[in-house]
Amino acid sequence: MLSRTAENLFWMARYMERAESTARLLTMGQRMAILPGATMRDEWRSVAQVTDCEEVFGKDAVIREADVVEHLILNPDNPSSIRSCLAMARQNGKSVRTALTQEMWESLNEGWRKLETYGVVEARRDFAELVDWVKNRAMMFRGATESGHLRNEGHDFLRTGGALERAQMTLRLLDVKYYVLLPETEVIGGHRDHYQWTSVLHALSGSRAYHHVYGGSYTPAQITDFIMLNRQFPRSVLYCFDQLAYRLQRLAHWHGQRTPANLRSEEMVETLSGADSGDIFRKGLHETIQGKLAQCNALGVEIAEAYHFG
């Protein structure tokens, strides 16, 4: 397979995943911003932090919903806005048309210009609908991929990109919210933290799943365990790492050759699967997350090198 094709598939999946994560984050932001006792500024700022674009808004300024909506949904100059992500995913897809099924292409192509027609006012008015639409695009894309895409190496590159992006998004979300999960904040108690946790779970579409696993109670240890270490929850960090290791193993099989990326991904799985939330808190949640993010970045570089990305 052409290296460029592999690279495009990898990034196409990443951009779709990123568009969807951003949509989920926005839902979380809005949900938290209307909670009693929440200062609006803090909540939207955390969304800006997760998406790595806090500097756009300035350190001290109040970040308003309108700013975030404009910047994270509509702004074509912000490379991580939903509009940019969808356009980039489509562009990557267009460059590898021959490696996609008709349905996959259609899911990328349909309505890709929709956001161009929106202003901030309309986007805020139709906020919920827009966010749902973005999630639907991503789900449609995944569904089309699931049901029709050849399980060749291209598929593995695509899934690798998706898993890597998702792991990083979950890690960043955790990092921004880690202070509410620290055991010492637990004693402060109160509704706000409870809402905060549920919001994090919501952003990951994991609140129902969480209850299935842990029953009705929220504790920081359980939430951390769920988001970091649960091997069944498809947005948990370990689940994504499992996926990465699996996909990279398949790629090694296709090429008859293991690469440094295999080694690293397996090591990432191993360290995390042996840990429990107690270990993580002892080491420091923030430090752990930073460490995992660094590993993800290094893995991305190794994949690019191993398969001759441009």
User: For other proteins, how many residues bind (rule: CB under 8 A)?
Assistant: 25
Residue 1 contacts other proteins per CB under 8 A: yes
**What is the rounded CA–CA span in Å between residue 44 and residue 67?**
9
Question: Cβ of residue 223: shortest distance to other proteins, in angstroms?
Answer: 39
Contact mark string toward other proteins, 83..122, x via CB under 8 A = --------x--xx-xx---x--xx--xx------------
**How many CB atoms are located within 10 Å of the residue 265 CB?**
28
Contact mark string toward other proteins, 145..184, x via CB under 8 A = --------x---x---------------------------
Question: Cβ of residue 308: shortest distance to other proteins, in angstroms?
Answer: 5
Which of 171, 130, 115 is CA-nearest to residue 30? Answer: 130
Residue 2 contacts other proteins per CB under 8 A: yes
Choose one: 3-11, 14-22, 116-124, 125-133; the region binding other proteins (CB under 8 A): 3-11
Phi-psi region of 16 (alpha: psi -120 to 50; beta: other; left: phi over 0): alpha
> What string of DSSP letters covers 169-208?
HHHHHHHHHHHHHSHHHHHH-SHHHHHHHHHHHHHTT-HH
Query: Please, what is the Cα angle at 116 between 114 and 118, to 5 degrees?
Result: 85
The site for other proteins (CB under 8 A) is made up of: 1-6, 91, 94-95, 97-98, 102, 105-106, 109-110, 153, 157, 251, 254-255, 257, 307-308, 310
